[in-house]
Amino acid sequence: MSNEIMFPDVNAQALKIVKYNLENPDVTISEKTEAIKRVAEMKAHDNLSKADLIFALRWLFRYYDFLEE
């Protein structure tokens, strides 16, 4: 048996990052990107507003150059 504490939902941390910490310099770019990915893969988005989702999309486009050829 492990001494590790298992939290009930990893997505709770992802939601917290997407809602409150995309502009937080203490959260790494990879953590932010992974959080957005986890949120996008969730079946329900009841805990996020439309504004939260749009902000996450805008953050992605600001950080990554998707139009680069």
The residues spanned by each domain of the chain are 11-20+28-62
Digits of tens for pLDDT over the chain (69 positions)?
456 555 556 789 999 999 999 999 999 999 999 999 999 999 888 889 999 999 999 999 999 887 766
Q: What is the pLDDT of residue 45?
A: 84
What does the DSSP 8-state code read for residue 65?
-
Q: What is the pLDDT of residue 69?
A: 60
C-alpha span between 36 and 18 (Å, rounded)? 6
Helical (H) or strand (E) element with 35: helix 29-41
How far apart are the C-alpha atoms of 19 and 42, rounded to whole Å?
A: 15
Q: What is the DSSP letter of 43?
A: S
SS3 label, residue 41:
helix
